[in-house]
Amino acid sequence: MRRLFWLAMGVTIGVLVVRKLSAAAEKITPAGIGGSIAEGLRDLADAIGDFGADVRAAMAEREDELRAGTGLDAPLPEVDQAQLPGRHSATGR
């Protein structure tokens, strides 16, 4: 019984070691390296996209704050064209 236990333990450990070594060997092949690089580039592109979205959101929020603080969003008062400085009245005076 004891020998059977140690035999099963040895087979299990052997299978696990072979699987780990096979996975490591697959990563070293050109296809495995290409896959790793492609995955890394996808992660980088996602991170850059997320950063750009965060920057745009913060920029829009800050622009709203500045517009509200300076009153640029306030409606312009109604002004007659004849009352504008530097304009002459319609009568030519």
Q: Which residue has the tokens 């580039």?
A: 41
With respect to residue 40, please indicate whether it lies within any of the assigned structural domains. Answer: yes
Q: What is the pLDDT of residue 62?
A: 95
With respect to residue 57, please indicate whether it lies within any of the assigned structural domains. Answer: yes
Average pLDDT of the chain is: 86
Please count the structural domains in the chain.
1
Q: What is the pLDDT of residue 15?
A: 95
With respect to residue 10, please indicate whether it lies within any of the assigned structural domains. Answer: no
With respect to residue 39, please indicate whether it lies within any of the assigned structural domains. Answer: yes
pLDDT tens column, 12-21: 999 999 999 9
Torsional class of 85: left (φ above 0), alpha (ψ -120 to 50), beta (otherwise): beta
Q: Range of 31's domain? A: 26-66
Percentage of residues in the chain with pLDDT exceeding 70? 82
Q: Which residue has the tokens 């009245």?
A: 89
pLDDT tens column, 20-50: 999 888 888 888 889 889 999 999 999 999 9
Give the pTM: 0.49
With respect to residue 86, please indicate whether it lies within any of the assigned structural domains. Answer: no
